[in-house]
Structure 1
């Protein structure tokens, strides 16, 4: 889902920096940011920051509040159902296509990423967990070379990433199971359908954790 590293113009670098903050939950749902604040934090000019906010707002990752402020939208249960429907339609299909094109070296790379993810879980490293989890999926989907579906998956990850960070903050990393090992075993066997099934179940587990976080937040509101 990310393009290979190369020298990028300033506006693209600023966009990617802010995007990563959203994707990995450093900007949490409902948290407001200002253009001036981002300019100061990133050491960037007003124009590239404004352009990045415009792009991210168009992608649904930010919501413009006026007065040069924006925030990460808070996900609703209804929106989560829409995201679940879309992701289960797109991401397993990407993994299925990718399996037919991948090499042994590709599988080794995905295995290395998953090992790094497991190390982050063991260390209780929330940022590392989110980053390597994303890298695993992004690297897998990129192998499909299905550019339209990859772009759609990118947009969906931006919508769900901040809520996954909230889940990690509530329950830590130890209670976040994934289906990556099952997917890797199916890749080694060349079973594209089994890879798609494992990725679909992986997504379902993540979304279920978000649903549970909604319930925990509702209980906290009632008790407060």
Structure 2
């Protein structure tokens, strides 16, 4: 009997996108947004049926995600999220902090009124998602805010590295949201936007570091 199906990320196929590209992009987004619960195995056949495609593009997409350390292959037909240890989690959070504070600082030269306005809109959408306790929207809008913050340059090198870390830590984002209101008591996004507007690099780095620490760092106790 197949394991229960995942709630796959809802990403329609784009014009000109091949089946292989679409399957990979959708499964990658599914992992990044925490829809792959830790410990739950899924089958290639089950994913192919859910996506309405053959097994081949699913198998290819999963192989790429295994190479990115987002998933592990259990046998020739099942995958799951890798086991998380306290040391691995600490390294992922530390890497997130190093990469994202640097990426945020490098956005300062781009921070004109239009850039800041776009971030403010995304942050408002994130606040609305939190207020209505919409887990999927909270994760999606948070990713959208950070992606827009860090990805302003077409030659951006840091964002793909950051997304690689998000892939590995994404399955634990939903766990972090369970008691987020007890740990995330200051609007760190608002702090980051204020620092961005003021051109305050040190303040911006502090806000991003605190956002990561308050948002997911409290899981150390549970994973350890």
Fold-level similarity (TM above 0.5)? yes
- Tell me how large the CA RMSD over aligned residues is: 1.8
What are the ranges of 5 or more consecutive residues in structure 2 without an aligned counterpart?
1-13
1:29-58 Cα offsets, whole Å, 9 max, x none, are 111111100000011222211111011000
Which residue is 1:221 aligned to?
A: none
Which residue is 1:59 aligned to?
A: 68
| TM-score of the two chains, using structure 2 as the length reference | 0.86
Equivalent in 125, 148, 168 of residue 157 of structure 2: 148
1:33 aligns with 2:42: yes
Deviation at 1:176, TM superposition (A): 5.6
Which residue is 2:195 aligned to?
A: 186
1:40-86 Cα offsets, whole Å, 9 max, x none, are 00112222111110110000111000131100113211101111221
Q: Report 1 or 2 for greater relative contact order, CA contacts < 8 Å, sequence distance ≥ 6.
A: 1
Deviates more, 1:203-212 or 1:62-71: 203-212
2:37 & 2:183 partners in 1: Cα distance? Answer: 19
Deviation at 1:192, TM superposition (A): 2.7
Which residue is 1:213 aligned to?
A: 222
Deviation at 1:93, TM superposition (A): 0.4
Deviation at 1:123, TM superposition (A): 0.4
SS of residue in 2 equivalent to 1:100: helix
1:106 aligns with 2:112: no
Number of aligned residue pairs: 209
2:56 & 2:103 partners in 1: Cα distance? Answer: 35
Equivalent in 146, 168, 171 of residue 162 of structure 1: 171
Equivalent in 194, 199, 203 of residue 212 of structure 2: 203
Which residue is 1:13 aligned to?
A: 22
Deviation at 1:146, TM superposition (A): 5.4
Deviation at 1:7, TM superposition (A): 3.8
Deviation at 1:149, TM superposition (A): 1.7
SS of residue in 2 equivalent to 1:70: strand
Deviation at 1:106, TM superposition (A): 1.3
Q: Are residues 200 and 182 of structure 1, via their aligned partners in 2, closer, same or farther at CA, if it must alter by over 3 Å?
A: same
Q: Are residues 44 and 102 of structure 1, via their aligned partners in 2, closer, same or farther at CA, if it must alter by over 3 Å?
A: farther
- 8 Å CA contact 1:24–1:131 kept in 2: the answer is yes
1:66 & 1:23 partners in 2: Cα distance? Answer: 22
1:12 & 1:175 partners in 2: Cα distance? Answer: 39
Q: Summarize the alignment of residues 105-144 of structure 1 with structure 2, pairs less than 5 Å apart.
A: 105-144=114-153
| TM-score of the two chains, using structure 1 as the length reference | 0.86
Deviates more, 1:138-147 or 1:112-121: 138-147
- Higher relative helix content: 1
What are the ranges of 5 or more consecutive residues in structure 1 without an aligned counterpart?
216-224
